[in-house]
Amino acid sequence: MGSFEEAQSYAGSHASNTRVQSLMRTIAELNNTISNLRISVDSLEISIDTLKNYIEDGSARMKTLTENITNLHRGFFKKYSRFIQEGTWQDQNYTDDDKYYLDALEVAYRSSRPQIQYDISLVRLSGLEDFSSKTFNLGDICYVQDTEFFGYTDESKTTPYKQKIIIS
């Protein structure tokens, strides 16, 4: 077979042959379809590249967020692990399910209450001339240092841990 230009030349010289003209129209339509499909393929390749970049960025972000969550869990555990106790309590001496349930509620209630409570007296220093800007109100935030309960921020036990509290 010859080239497309030869086929066009042949079709032009045989304009009365309807079969040749029909085949030429089919060839032109197929060439147009091929052109449109190439445009679609290029568009799809761009979309695929965009989606691959989106997936890579999402994977990197997910990895970063997972590491941040892990670090937060470690920090929380390091700070509060000695205050959190988890376990199962069983006693074979209970024969009444209601009594067992009520005692379990009592244990849960007791365990949910703070172990330490601070009573702090505030002195109104604002009455003194040098401390006129020092006022304390309900809802203000201050810090408490209790080395026996909160411990220290470092291993050498030189810097006590400060716990943020709200005046209530």
**pLDDT tens readout for residues 5-36:** 777 777 778 778 788 788 888 888 998 999 99
What global pTM score does this model have? 0.37
Q: How far apart are CA 163 and CA 5, in angstroms?
A: 87
Give the pairing type, strands 162-166 and 141-145: antiparallel
- How far apart CA 2 and CA 14 sit, in angstroms, is 16
pLDDT at 89 over 80: no
For residue 48, what are the CA distances in angstroms to 37, 58, 62, 76?
A: 16, 15, 21, 41
